[in-house]
Amino acid sequence: MVGTHEDYMKHREKRLAYGKIWYQKNKVKITAWKKKYREENKDKIKTYRRKKYLEETNHWHENSVGNASTKAETIVMNLLKKDGYNEIWKPTRNFYFDWLAKKNNKTYAIEVTTNMQKSLNNFHIKFLNFFNLSLIIFFVRPDLTKVYMIKSTDNSQKYFHYKQSSGICEAI
């Protein structure tokens, strides 16, 4: 006999509650085991992580479009204008960020990348803090199909990954 969706959800909730209780009881043992395993299998873990990273990177760069970074900036510029950002400005060609933009009397530093991750240097963070700017990072897939956006108000964070984004916009 097939159960209903409600039966499934009740059963699932019970299993989740049981799992949480079990984990709390065994947390010390699990942590000790993980630590021991990681110490004994450093090479195996390193190889596994490298393999997963390469798979993810290859998937990200599938069907890349030529000159994707320039086209990505055009896509993001259009998204910003649609979303109500005004006074979008690029002070110089070699500025710290791609643009500065205003929305609701708040100024944002805008960064666009076609990579999966973005790192900020100390001078980027000092600049954001000095001028009290919020940071918006757009991760555009190199095939120009999807755009991921991160709005950061924590100006101490240096490393960002597209998986931290709040949502996906379809690139047009």
pLDDT tens string, the chain, 172 residues long: the values are: 577 889 999 999 999 999 999 999 999 999 999 999 999 999 999 999 999 999 999 999 999 988 999 999 999 999 999 989 988 998 887 888 999 999 998 999 999 999 999 999 999 999 999 999 999 999 999 999 999 999 987 888 899 999 888 766 665 5
Query: How many beta carbons lie within 10 A of that of residue 66, not counting itself?
Result: 7
DSSP three-state, residue 171: coil
pLDDT at 92: 81
- Considering 42, 60, 78, which residue would you say is the last residue of a domain? 60
**129 shares its domain with 81:** yes
**17 shares its domain with 84:** no
**85 shares its domain with 138:** yes
pLDDT at 170: 60
pLDDT at 1: 55
Question: How many structural domains is the chain composed of?
Answer: 2
pLDDT at 155: 84
Do 96 and 111 touch, CB atoms closer than 8 A?
A: no
**101 shares its domain with 55:** no
**100 shares its domain with 165:** yes
Range of the domain at 45: 5-60
**86 shares its domain with 150:** yes
**26 shares its domain with 44:** yes
**55 shares its domain with 104:** no
pLDDT at 3: 75
DSSP for 91-103, written as a single string = --TT-SSSEEEEE
pLDDT at 142: 94
**147 shares its domain with 77:** yes
> How much is the pTM?
0.76
Q: Locate tokens 């991160």: which residue?
A: 150
- List, in order, residues 6 or more apart from 30 with CB less than 8 Å away: 23
pLDDT at 58: 94
**91 shares its domain with 50:** no
